[in-house]
Chain A
Amino acid sequence: MTDLAVHFEGVGKKYRHFTLDDIHLELPTGSIMGFIGPNGAGKSTTIRILMGLVHQDRGSVRVLGHAMPKDQALAKQQIGFVSEDLRLYKTATLAWHMGFIRSIYPTWDQAYAEQLLRRFDLKAEQRIKGISHGQRVKAALLLVLARRPRLLVLDEPTTGLDPVARQEVLGELMEVLADDERTILFSSHNTLDVEQISDQITFIDQGRIIDTGDKEGFLDRWRRIRLDVPAEVAPPVLPGVMKAGGSGRLPVVTTNRFEPAMAAAYQHAGVTVLAVEPMTLEEIFVANVHWRREGGIS
């Protein structure tokens, strides 16, 4: 028995205009991973490989202990996947979809499904084509949640939702996590959602994982430091300091390896530290992407 729900090792996939390169991912059972990247970064390709929908050229993928894509039939019994295109039949009602899924998956929980109908403010008798985008997203989520899968894989689940619907969805994802045997991986470019509920965070850009780790670690390591550098003083070059902004006398540096000793090192060199500021996940993500694109290594 493994305690990793998802494990990618050295996974690669080459397309004509895009390469997914050397992907390593570890998602412990019982946690949520937010998978963040700009459009076209490789989020959906990675998720498709995870689901066995796209076959990797190299590397190994294990999902709930099953080798992918070889054992995908077994794995998929226990995975709930909501893709961006939702895959609902427009002319059918939500009730029809519920009956259909129920007939395929023995783990379907009808009482929970009815609870979700109320919490998501959905009507089972409505046809999919007659409801809004937000309601379709919630309908698709209901259909996978009520199966109580051990792993939920959600491609951009909160994109296009209004604030009320977003909080309903995030709340429901947290309810899933009340059971520590269940695991969620969701991709998003909404860093606020990821910051709120994720335990693990992975940044992807241009087909490569540029950073991965637990959220608290991320938020702890990154700081923006505002300095006051007198004209005659040359500011020291400290490890992990990546970007200088601001004007000549008042530079602002960003670091991904903050420790209190850094402030002391600046003071020691005659530089005044005006402020040490925590950064939001969004700021960390953008700084990280720019830094890596300019050739930075950790």
Chain B
Amino acid sequence: MDMHSHLVISKADGRPMYLQIMEQIKQRIAVGDWPRGEEIPSIRQLAVALRVSVITVKRAYYELEREGVIVTQHGKGSTVADGADVSPRLWDQELAQHLDQVVRLGTLLGLTPEQLESRLRDAANRFTEESS
């Protein structure tokens, strides 16, 4: 199956390649392209297809396994974990990243955590008004 050719790694994306690979695999799983329990490409196959180091793909698979997204059986390759719960986790990660960014900018502006909190509440209220 030629299912690994869908992944595209960006070199202009500042994030490490292994993170990009992880995210794209999670997206494949979230939308059902890679069904639960299904075998996924071996580390070497995916590395060759993406033209990135074996060690980079190995790192991505290792982290995905730690997160419970895939299961790797020694000598048998990897499959999508039966209980892989990908989508909420994906959004959660993105939220965490944005929050880090908010705190960083807040620090730059010299805002206290309380001031940040109230700004966040304002933003939430605005969002509720706009979407109602």
Which residues of A are at the interface with B, using a C-beta cutoff of 8 A?
Answer: 30-32, 167, 170-171, 174-175, 177-178, 180, 192, 196-200, 214-216, 219, 272, 274-275, 278
Contact = CB atoms under 8 A, between A and B. Distances in A.
Interface stretch (B25-33, B52-60, B70-78, B116-124): B52-60
Contacts of A167: 51
Contacts of B14: 278
Contact of A216 (B45, B48, B56, B108): B56
Nearest to A219: B16
Nearest to A196: B52
B56 A174 contact: no
B52 to A, nearest CB: 6
B47 interface: yes
B51 A32 contact: no
Contacts of A192: 11
B108 A178 contact: no
A74 B59 CA distance: 36
A214 B62 CA distance: 15
Contacts of B56: 215-216
Interface in B7-57: 11, 14, 16, 18, 44-45, 47-48, 51-56
Contacts, number: 50
Contact of B53 (A175, A197, A278): A197
B4 to A, nearest CB: 12
Interface string B92-122: 0000000000001001100000000000000
B59 A274 contact: no
A199 B57 CA distance: 10
Contact of A177 (B16, B18, B44): B44
Please tell me the size bucket of the interface on B: 10 to 19
Interface of B: 11, 14, 16, 18, 44-45, 47-48, 51-56, 59, 104, 107-108
A197 B51 contact: yes
A70 B53 CA distance: 33
B64 to A, nearest CB: 14
A174 B44 CA distance: 9
Nearest to B108: A274
Given A215-B55, A216-B18, A278-B16, 18 more contacts: A30-B54, A31-B55, A167-B51, A170-B51, A171-B51, A174-B47, A174-B48, A174-B51, A175-B48, A177-B48, A178-B45, A196-B51, A196-B53, A197-B51, A216-B55, A216-B59, A272-B107, A278-B14
> Which 7 pairs from chain A and chain B are nearest by CB?
A199-B55, A178-B48, A174-B48, A216-B59, A174-B51, A199-B53, A171-B51
30 contacts: A30-B54, A31-B54, A32-B53, A167-B51, A170-B51, A171-B51, A174-B51, A174-B52, A175-B48, A177-B44, A177-B54, A178-B48, A180-B44, A192-B11, A196-B11, A196-B51, A196-B52, A197-B51, A197-B52, A197-B53, A199-B54, A199-B55, A215-B53, A216-B55, A216-B56, A216-B59, A219-B16, A274-B104, A278-B14, A278-B16
